[in-house]
Structure formats: structure tokens, C-alpha cells
């Protein structure tokens, strides 16, 4: 018999539904930016929560639930979709809500930001999304991505540095700084 207490069905269902309510929106948004496609993101989220349900007993601490779900999602993305990505270079714009931006300049600016985030290298995009969508700390991101904290901070620096060079022209050329200098 397992040492882990097995929840009865009612408790398990309640616990699961609490997780869904608390995290499904963030998990979906992260999935969307990971695979850049609404339909794929939906499939990915369904698969993620299905796996979470099956292994809910292994989640010892509900405070770690969000990081646990994001980890499952990344693993499912790698298993199902990341190995190949047939033509998924386009961004499914229809999944992005219109903000109150009526000026052409604002819409153009927003479109540029959308593309800039979507086309960031995966190594930079992932930690940035984990930080801004998931609200994770550097240490938590390091655990989810299986990296050390310094590398995560360097990648966050690079991610924002690239966006900064597009949207805040001029100033310091951060891209010229070596990774080795950053990680010291």
C-alpha cells in the first residue's frame, strides 16, 4: 500500500476543481504563448489538466500547484508538439482581445510588441512568460526550467533587453555584454 494518503473521490474532485478555477486562465495563456496557436493551446491545457487529475495524489503541497501545472504543461508540449512544428510560424491573432486602442499608432505598436514577444528565442521567451504570466520568482523559474538561477536571470535580462532595443531606442547596448560577465 502506498504511503501517500489516497483522497476519496469527492475530496479529490473538489481539490481538482479548485485548481482548475485558480489556474486555468494562466495555464492557457502560457500555453498560447508557448505554441502560438489557440487550438493547440486548448488541446495542451486539456491534456495538462487530465494528467494533473491522474496524478493529483502526488501533489503534496497546494502552494506548489501552479509551478507543478506549468511543469506538466511544458512536458506535454515537448511530448506532443515541440518535436516538430508544422508551419506554426504564424501567430493566431484571433486569440488576442482588442484593447482600447483606437489610434493607428497604438495598434501598430501593439502589433509590433505581439510579434516581438512571439518571435523571441524560446530560451528567452519562456522565462519571461513564466515571470509575467505565472508571477514566478527567479528561483521558481529555475526549478521549472531546470536551470540555475544565474542563467534564468541572464535570460530574463536578454529577453527584456531585446524588447527594450525595439521599443526604447537608444541608450545602453545591453546585447553586447557577454553571458559570462552577466553570470559572474
Partner 1 sequence: MDDLEFRKRALANPHDSDEDFVAATGSTPERMRLVQDIQALDKRIVEMVSAVTVPADLATRLKSRQPRVSRPVKSVWSSYYAMAASLVIAVGVILSIGLQSANPSAADLQLHDDALRHVYREEPRYERAVNDLSWQQINAVIAEAGVHLRDNERIKTMHIKFANGCRLASGTGAHIVLEGTKGSVSVLIVHSSPVKTRFDVNDPRFAGKIIPFGEGNLIIVGEKEEPLETYEALLTDAFEWAI
Footprint of partner 1 on this chain (CB under 8 A)? 16-17, 20-21, 24-25, 28-29, 32-33, 37-40, 42-43, 45-47, 49-50, 53, 82-90, 92, 95-97, 99, 110, 113-114, 117, 128-129, 131-133, 138, 153-154, 156-157, 160-161, 163-164, 167-168, 171-172, 174, 177, 181-182
Q: Please, what is the minimum distance in Å from the beta carbon of residue 15 to partner 1?
A: 12
Within a 10 A sphere around the Cβ of 162, how many other Cβ atoms? 20
How many CA atoms lie less than 13 Å away from 57 in the CB half-sphere?
9
Q: Per the structure block, which three cell numbers stand in for 72?
A: 506538466
Q: Please, what is the minimum distance in Å from the beta carbon of residue 56 to partner 1?
A: 11
Q: In this structure, which long-range contacts are made by residues 143-150, counting pairs with CB atoms below 8 Å and at least 24 apart in sequence?
A: 143/67, 144/67, 144/70, 144/71, 144/74, 145/74, 150/182, 150/183
Q: Please, what is the minimum distance in Å from the beta carbon of residue 134 to partner 1?
A: 10
54 or 63: CB nearest partner 1: 54
82 or 143: CB nearest partner 1: 82
Q: Please, what is the minimum distance in Å from the beta carbon of residue 1 to partner 1?
A: 26
**Please, what sign has the CA dihedral across residues 34, 38, 39, 41?**
positive
> Minimal CA–CA distance to 23: which of 55, 52, 61?
52
7 or 177: CB nearest partner 1: 177
Amino acid at each position: 500500500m502506498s504511503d501517500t494518503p489516497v483522497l476519496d473521490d469527492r475530496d479529490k474532485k473538489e481539490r481538482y476543481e479548485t485548481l482548475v478555477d485558480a489556474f486555468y486562465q494562466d495555464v492557457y495563456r502560457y500555453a498560447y504563448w508557448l505554441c502560438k496557436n489557440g487550438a493547440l493551446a486548448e488541446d495542451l491545457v486539456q491534456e495538462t489538466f487530465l494528467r494533473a487529475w491522474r496524478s493529483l495524489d502526488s501533489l503534496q503541497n497546494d502552494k506548489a500547484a501552479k509551478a507543478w501545472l506549468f511543469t506538466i504543461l511544458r512536458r506535454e508540449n515537448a511530448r506532443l508538439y515541440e518535436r516538430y512544428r508544422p508551419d506554426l510560424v504564424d501567430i493566431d491573432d484571433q486569440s488576442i482581445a482588442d484593447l482600447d486602442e483606437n489610434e493607428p499608432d497604438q495598434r501598430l505598436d501593439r502589433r509590433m510588441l505581439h510579434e516581438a514577444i512571439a518571435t523571441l528565442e524560446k530560451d528567452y521567451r519562456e522565462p519571461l512568460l513564466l515571470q509575467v504570466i505565472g508571477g514566478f520568482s527567479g528561483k521558481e523559474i529555475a526549478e521549472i526550467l531546470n536551470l540555475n538561477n544565474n542563467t534564468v536571470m541572464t535570460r530574463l535580462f536578454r529577453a527584456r533587453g531585446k524588447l527594450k532595443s525595439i521599443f526604447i531606442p537608444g541608450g545602453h547596448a545591453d546585447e553586447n555584454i557577454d553571458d559570462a560577465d552577466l553570470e559572474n
